């Protein structure tokens, strides 16, 4: 809707496994830390130059607004 897309760090196509890893495992990590992980993740997005959050590190992804390139 706003042009954001999720891309893997290695350039491979993002699959359902990557998305599930990004959402479910990160959600579990946030729950286990009682929300502190979510707060840390928000600070990471605001402070880090690459704007990657904890869920991006877990799934080896990043969010971009660049359109996909044809290989």
Q: What is the pLDDT of residues 18-65, one digit of tens each?
A: 999 999 999 999 999 999 999 999 999 999 999 999 999 999 999 999
Joined together, the tokens standing for residue 6 give 């999720």
Owner of token pair 């929300």 = 35
Residue 68 in domain: no
Provide the residue range defining the domain that includes 36: 22-62
Joined together, the tokens standing for residue 3 give 């042009």
pTM across the whole model: 0.85
Residue 38 in domain: yes
The C-alpha atoms of residue 20 and residue 42 are separated, in whole angstroms, by 20
Residue 70 in domain: no
Residue 35 in domain: yes
Please state, as a whole number, how many other Cβ atoms lie within 10 Å of the Cβ of residue 22: 20
Asked if 54 and 37 count as a contact pair (C-beta separation under 8 A), the reply is yes
Residue 30 in domain: yes
Domains of the chain: total: 1
Residue 3 in domain: no
> So what's the pLDDT on residue 71?
64
């Amino acid at each position: 809707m706003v042009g954001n897309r999720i891309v893997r760090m290695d350039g491979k196509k993002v699959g359902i496994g990557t998305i599930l890893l990004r959402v479910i495992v990160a959600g579990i990590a946030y729950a286990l830390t009682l929300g502190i992980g979510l707060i840390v993740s928000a600070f990471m997005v605001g402070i880090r130059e690459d704007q990657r959050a904890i869920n991006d590190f877990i799934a080896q992804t990043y969010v971009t607004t660049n359109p996909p390139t044809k290989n």
